[in-house]
Amino acid sequence: MAADFQTPEFREYPAVPNKLVPDATAHLSPFVAKPDHNEKLGFPGELVDNWHDKAIEKMGDLLGKYRGLQVFLDACVKCGSCTDKCHYFQGTSDPKNMPVARQDLLRSVYRRHFTFAGKYFPKLVGARELDREVLDEWYSYFHQCSQCRRCSVFCPYGIDTAEISMAAREILDTVGYGQKYCNEILGKVQTVGNNLGLPGPALKATMAEFEEEMEDDTGLPIKLPIDVQGADVLLITPSADFFAEPHIDGLMGYAKVFHEAGINWTLSSYAAEAANFSMFIGSYSNMKTVAERIRTAALDLGVKRIMVGECGHAWRVAYSFWNTVAGVGSGAAEDDEYGQKLQKQLDHRYPIPQHICEFTHGLLQEGKLRLDPAANDHRTVTFHDSCNVARASRMGDKPGGQFDIPRALLKAACNNYVDMDPDTIREVTYCCGGGGGLLTDDLMEIRVKGALPRMEALKDVMQNQGVTNMAAICAICKAQFAKVMPYFDIPMDTILSTHQIVGDALVLTGSTQETALDGGDDSSEKTEEAAEATE
Amino acid sequence: MAGLFYAALFYFATAFFVGGLAYKIYKYAKTPAPLKIPTTPAPTTQSGVVARMAREVVFFESLFKGNKWIWLFGWMFHVGLALVLLRHLRYFMDPIPGVIVFIQPFGMYAGFAMAIGLLGLWGRRFFVERIRYISNPSDHLMLALLVAIGGSGLMMKFGAHTDIVAVKNFVLGLMTFSLQPLPTDPLLLIHLALVAVLMIIFPISKLLHAPGVFFSPTRNQVDNPRERRHVAPWAAELDKS
Ligand code: HEM
Ligand code: SF4
Ligand code: SF4
């Protein structure tokens, strides 16, 4: 692998914390956004002249708007519990990648400008003036945080470094120092409707290809409908599902499930994107603008239910924030006109929004899906909990459903399922290394280094328990793993979509697979009748 | 003379402590949390949240998950501190309630637990590289202050006794605004001065973690964003445009 950095070595005892290597990744900074990218989002095009004053002013503004920020900046006692928990610290040994040290980059300036001790005794409490060097340091290290929240699990006050880095990025944007990757993409989603900038007709052509492929495969006319007025279900999925591997196979998996369930569903070309990078840059107003495309699509198409495909941060935004920023959910107050407008139209017997895994799991429990796990006998599968799903959302009606439901799907769909080291999954799962707006080639070094803990855990089950594949439910995780696995001598096709594995095991009524399984012409006729009956 | 100075000091310290803390708590309470950000898995009911918070405050649950040594020393220190504070109530009350009498002997051992915990935490700041890196001078001074308060207290208990009846009269006098003489043993004067210092820095330092933990949205929010629309006042304005 040609790279101008060293892939980190697997550690003999991953539990032993690193020795510090100061400034190991101080040289890493993502490309800076062009004026055009920034301005589209309402930010100044370039670093403004009075950036110092504007930055401090913005910090004050955010402190008054976000209680979390205010409490987190005050409450840290420097106990050290979080210091060894970040995958970027583990992969780089750079002390500024310790969560509390990352927070301190911002906290030092907070103390200088907003606290008594920092104003009068700056040296004593580690307060610093915001100079150009500090600003650049923010730009560098707040883009070495994937906002995965692993640190917040272990903090006695739940201090969430993700919140701090979102605030820092919002301050940077406000002074015209935005990141190219996030801001460029956000511009596209706001003008075209998806991160790729894929226009409607292109989308339809792509879907037609996939439909053909599925028909060749199963002998059934499985659809990927777009813009169907009056459909029951609107599916919002990350646009990576339309073009990237292994994402596409996941998309086809959803389509098969919908087909088998006989549901009238649709995609929207206006809102063909579940991703909402506004969260990464901490921008409430942009998050609202992007989410409102979904609201508009739902209103226009007149759908009753809204579902979300496999994507980690998108599920966080959908589950935790859609109701707040766009009224996509339930329980708006009587006098909340904005919330009521959409919610009156929706069917509240179902969770809104609903994760595709919740949907498939529900069908499975009702006995509406027939799975043949033997179809996956050539695989031994493990599951990567994506950080935003694990620590910032839920599935089902019980806490922890976000861990159990995808696993239940995989276990129903394959005979060989193994979990990785318990210290690396579920609530304490490690980030893939590419989340939080870091999934860009200009940050390849930090992406590879940050993947270390996950790669170690995966390699372990591959070597000792014969694991062949890792399933995920996040577009970023899938893209990141496909890219970084080769650095660790793991084949890139080890990573799969969860709904691909489900789709492979799904025995569709009337399909060639069903015929092969059940044999005989009689049964296939019967199932054809059954298929007609469900339509 | 000393009595007068200490009386003034304690009135000031108490006013600053109460006023400063009230201001901070008001600020935390008033600042909205516009988004639902509990660290999940999180409770789905309000009573679940109360239980989660109780586990954090009483057992330091998250810290326990994070690091057993910090937990051990930190918990010893805080439980010790809590018992010692309760034990000190005997100087403020007359007659002394039964519970306070009951905990007196435990409070004595608690003093040692507190000191050991503090020294353990302090040791980590010197010997664990990561924690050395994140420590500011103020973090050391805070521990030094608490060790000095605890140390001077223990020395009065087990070494150079002071006239605690007179101390109690002085304290009760403060509470009823009638100045009583204060014994002038150096240890006592040091002990009391340091306590006043601690009260003054409380609302302007990291000791704000004590009220802060209750306001932390990652720990105090109910996990129900799909079921209820949660909108902060400033954010609701955006719905209208
Ligand atoms: C609601 C009440 C409180 C809770 C839940 C709480 C919790 C904690 C926790 C979990 C830690 C981190 C572990 C450790 O370093 O010990 C900590 C640290 C600390 N607490 Fe508290 N605390 C409370 C009240 C207080 C009070 C009243 C004081 C008064 C002096 C105090 C002084 C400290 C100090 C000085 C540290 C830092 C220790 C160090 O430097 O390592 N705490 N607290
Ligand atoms: S949120 Fe994740 S990436 Fe950011 S500091 Fe915490 S552990 Fe590291
Ligand atoms: S665990 Fe929390 S309180 Fe402790 S050092 Fe980290 S951020 Fe600060």
- The residues spanned by each domain of chain A are 35-178, 193-357, 366-505
CB neighbours of residue A516 within 10 Å: 11
Identity at B122, one-letter amino acid code:
W
Q: Do A324 and B134 touch (CB under 8 A)?
A: no
Is residue A386 within 8 A of residue A473, CB to CB? The reply is yes
Q: Nearest 5°: phi and psi at B224?
A: -145, 40
The mean predicted confidence, pLDDT, of chain A is 95
Using an 8 Å CB-CB cutoff, list chain A residues near B225.
Answer: 319-321, 323-324, 329
A9 burial type by CB count under 10 A (0-12 exposed, 13-18 middle, 19+ buried)? exposed
Residues of A whose CB is below 8 A from B42: 394, 399
Measured in degrees and rounded to the nearest 5, phi and psi for residue B24 equal -65, -45
Establish whether residue A475 lines the binding site of ligand 3, counting it when its CB lies within 6 angstroms of any ligand atom. no
Which ligand has the nearest atom to the CA of A450?
2
pLDDT category of residue A508 using cuts at 50, 70 and 90: very high
Helix (H) or strand (E) holding A307: strand A305-308
Query: What average pLDDT does range A332-358 have in this prediction?
Result: 96
Tell me what pLDDT residue B200 has: 98
* Torsions phi, psi for A306 (to 5 deg): -130, 125
The residue with tokens 């708007």 is: A65
Q: How much is the average pLDDT of B177-202?
A: 96
Residue A209's pLDDT band, with cuts at 50, 70 and 90, is very high
A281, A170 in Cβ contact below 8 A? yes
Q: How distant is the alpha carbon of residue A314 from its chain centre? A: 5
Distances (CA, A) of B199 to A440, B77, B173: 50, 18, 19
pLDDT at B126 over 60: yes
pLDDT at A522 over 80: no
If you average pLDDT over residues A500-529, what whole number do you get?
Answer: 78
H-only helix segments in A393-474? 401-413, 444-450, 452-465
Q: Which helix (H) or strand (E) holds A381?
A: strand A381-383
Helical ranges in B93-185 per DSSP H: 98-127, 129-134, 137-158, 164-175
Coil, helix or strand at residue B221: coil
Relative to beta strand A381-383, strand A305-308 is unpaired
User: How far does the CA of residue A337 sit from the closest CA of chain B (Å)?
Assistant: 9
Interface list for A 252-281 with B (CB within 8 A): none
Q: Which amino acid residue places its CA nearest to atom 7 of ligand 3?
A: A100
- Residue tagged 């402190």 (tokens): A63
Per-residue pLDDT, averaged over A315-338, amounts to 97
pLDDT interval class at A533 (50, 70, 90): very low
Distance, in Å, from the CA atom of A491 to the CA atom of A513, rounded to the nearest integer, reads 28
Burial A233-265 (b: 16+ CB within 10 A, else e): bbbbbbbbbbebbbbbbbbbbbbbbbbbbebeb
First to last CA, chain A: 51
**Cα separation of B218 and A147, whole Å?**
14
ipTM field:
0.96
CA distance B43 to B192: 43
The predicted pLDDT at position A520 comes to 56
Is residue A253 a contact partner of residue A260, using CB atoms and an 8 Å limit? Answer: no
Rounded CA gap, B197 and A13, in Å?
A: 45
Q: What is the pLDDT of residue A524?
A: 45
Helix (H, G, I), strand (E, B) or coil at A279: helix
Angstrom distances, CA of residue B142 to CA of A75, A491, B68, B118, B145: 14, 52, 22, 10, 5
- Mean pLDDT of the B76-91 span: 95
Q: Which atom of ligand 3 is nearest to the CA of A79?
A: 4
B90 CA → ligand 1 middle, Å: 24
Please give the share of chain A, as a percent, with pLDDT higher than 90: 91
Residues 6+ apart with CB under 8 A from A275: A185, A189, A195, A238, A239, A240, A311, A313, A314, A475
Ligand 2 within 6 A of A145 CB? Answer: yes
Nearest CA in chain A to B63: A156
CA geometry: angle A382, A388, A392, nearest 5 deg: 120
Longest dimension (CA), chain A: 88
Q: pLDDT-derived band of residue A80, with 50, 70 and 90 as boundaries?
A: very high
Search chain B and give the residue with CA nearest A85.
B66
Question: Ligand 3 pocket, A159 CB below 6 A?
Answer: yes
Mean pLDDT (whole number) for A199-227: 95
At A8, the pLDDT band (50, 70, 90 cuts) reads very high
Structural contact between residues A18 and A89, judged by C-beta atoms closer than 8 angstroms: yes
What proportion of chain B, given as a percentage, has pLDDT over 70?
100
> Counting ligands in written order, which one lies closest to the CA of residue A81?
3
Please, which residues bridge with residue A236 across strands?
A308
Cβ count near B12 (within 10 Å): 13
Measured from the CB, is residue A301 less than 6 Å from ligand 2? no
d(CA A35, CA A173) in angstroms, rounded, equals: 11
How confident is the model at residue B160, as a pLDDT? Answer: 86
Query: Is pLDDT at A97 greater than 90 in this prediction?
Result: yes
Ligand 3 and A299: CB distance under 6 A: no
Amino acid occupying residue B166:
A
In the prediction, which pLDDT does B50 show?
98
Q: In this complex, is the C-beta atom of A439 within 8 Å of any C-beta atom belonging to chain B?
A: no
Instruction: For A399, name the nearest residue in chain B, comparing CA atoms only.
Output: B41
Q: Work out the pLDDT band at A195, boundaries 50, 70, 90.
A: confident
Report the alpha-carbon distance of residue A419 to residue A263 in Å, rounded: 33
Q: Which of A65, A93, A149, A157 should one mutate to test binding to chain B, selecting the residue with the greatest count of B CBs within 10 A?
A: A157
Peptide bond preceding A422 in cis form (omega within 30 of 0): no
Q: How far apart are CA A214 and CA A468, in angstroms?
A: 24
The pLDDT of residue A42 is: 95
Residue A322 has pLDDT above 90, yes or no: yes
Cβ contact A48:A175 at 8 Å: yes
Ligand 1 binding site (Cβ under 6 Å of any ligand atom): A 77, 79, 156; B 57, 60, 63, 70, 74, 77-78, 121, 139, 142-143, 146, 207, 209-210, 213
DSSP codes joined into one string, A183-204: HHHHHHHHHTSSTT---HHHHH
Greater confidence (A467 vs A518) lies with A467
Question: Ligand 1 pocket: which of B60, B68, B72, B78 to mutate (most atoms <8 Å of CB)?
Answer: B78
Place of tokens 């996990």: B223
The shortest C-alpha distance from B8 to chain A (Å) reads 23
Question: For the residues A313-336, what does the mean pLDDT come to?
Answer: 97
Decide if A73 touches B, using CB distance below 8 A: no
**pLDDT above 90: residue A128:** yes
Give yes or no for residue A534 having a pLDDT over 50.
Answer: no
Nearest-angstrom CA–CA distance, A345 and A367? 29
What is the CA(A75)–ligand 1 centre distance, in A?
10
Give SS3 for A519: coil
CATH architecture, range A366-505: 3-Layer(aba) Sandwich (3.40)
Residue B234: its chain A contacts at CB < 8 A?
A: 65
Report residue A219 as tokens: 């002998």
Size of interface A-B (CB pairs under 8 A): 233
pLDDT mean over A478-490? 97
Q: What is the pLDDT of residue A3?
A: 65
